[in-house]
Amino acid sequence: MKKGIILLFVSILGLLNSCDVANDLMKVASQNLPLTEQEVVNGLKSALEISTDTAVSIVSATNGFFKDNAIKILLPPEADIIAQNMNNPLLKAIGVSGMIEDVILRMNRSAEQAAKQATPIFVNAIKTMSIQDAFGILNGSDTSATHFFRVKTYNQLQNAFKPKIRNSLNKPIVSGVSANKAWNSLTSGYNEVANFVPGWKKVNTSLDDYVTRKALNGLFLKVALEEKHIRNNPSARVNDILKRVFGEKLY
């Protein structure tokens, strides 16, 4: 009787061990299975959600633009003449140097504030990705998802983003003065001086389009950096679907 119980116990142990082995084999086999269409789509959407969410968090923080030389918004090119001649006695007399610093700070603060509204726009755009798009992106360059995202949604983002930029530029966000007011003070002061200096052209640039374009460029740059991070750094793949999709190379 005891012998039979011992044999039964040994048999159960063997069965349990074989089940563990089978489970391990199934896990290995599943890892080697080709990616399904849905896995690719889910993986790319997850990557874009993480990339855009991180990018928005970075640039929407105080000094997200202003303290980052890669995306800091400087004066429009049309105003280079002001910066180049700010030591001119006539411009010094009206305090142009301080005005320039003031405008640059306010433009960047406007971009930082507007960027907070970008997340829902990105989320809605991600939903439009097709299966064909996802496979093409997965086999593309380190920033192919960001490129696709920009090409497909830039106009929509611009149309939705510009009113927020405009409102932000008109808000008294630094010392009770808006970016547009500071810009108008700078350019009007320069333009008055330009009337008396041969070769100096007046500056009449609108900040709305300029800051919107620069803000979106900076945001997309950060998205691209986050995409590269996910593609090239295994530790950045924070969930199973990212590990599964970006851990493989399709041919």
Give tens-digit pLDDT for 103-141.
888 889 889 988 888 888 888 878 878 888 877 887 878
Alpha-helical runs (H) found in 33-143: 37-60, 80-84, 89-93, 96-115, 118-126, 131-138
**CA 147 centroid distance within chain:** 12
The domain ranges of the chain are 1-33, 37-246
Of 92, 81, 158, the residue nearest 125 (C-alpha): 158
Is the pLDDT at 12 greater than 50, yes or no? Answer: no
Calpha distance 68→74 (Å, rounded): 11
The strand pairing partners of 92, in sequence order, are none
Calpha distance 31→84 (Å, rounded): 60
More confident residue, 24 or 247: 247
More confident residue, 22 or 20: 20
**What pLDDT is attached to residue 22?**
39
Task: Place 185 in a pLDDT band, splitting at 50, 70 and 90.
Answer: confident
10 Å Cβ neighbour count for 68? 15
Length of the chain: 251
Mean pLDDT, the chain, integer: 76
pTM, to two decimals: 0.72
**What pLDDT is attached to residue 5?**
40
**What pLDDT is attached to residue 220?**
93
Of 215, 222, 228, 73, the residue nearest 157 (C-alpha): 215
